[in-house]
Amino acid sequence: MYVALHVQSLETRFVVVEVKPMDTGLVKISADALNKDIDRVGHVAVYYKVAAARLHPDGVGPLAPVASNDDEAGRTKNRRVELVKQ
């Protein structure tokens, strides 16, 4: 557990962070579903971990956001891997 106390002239913040193992197995993706989306629209976004050896990265996130970067929900949606039909 980590604890931080930030004291400033106009505000005081107390932050507690409890470290625990990440839940896994919450999202199930089938290869058939990915293939259908790629065939239908030419690409599909995936938000689970993909082995680096299986990817050819081209970083275009800042050039092609799918949501606003004004809040964490939008930034989370913009952190993605897209499989694109070649």
Strand partners, 46: 81
Where exactly are the structural domains of the chain?
A: 23-84
pTM of the model: 0.46
pLDDT band at 45 (very low <50, low <70, confident <90, very high): confident
Amino acid at 4: A
Tokens describing residue 86: 């070649």
Q: Is the pLDDT at 48 greater than 90, yes or no?
A: no
Q: Is the pLDDT at 61 greater than 70, yes or no?
A: no
Q: Which residues 6+ apart lie within 8 Å of 54 measured at CB?
A: none
Predicted pLDDT of residue 83: 80
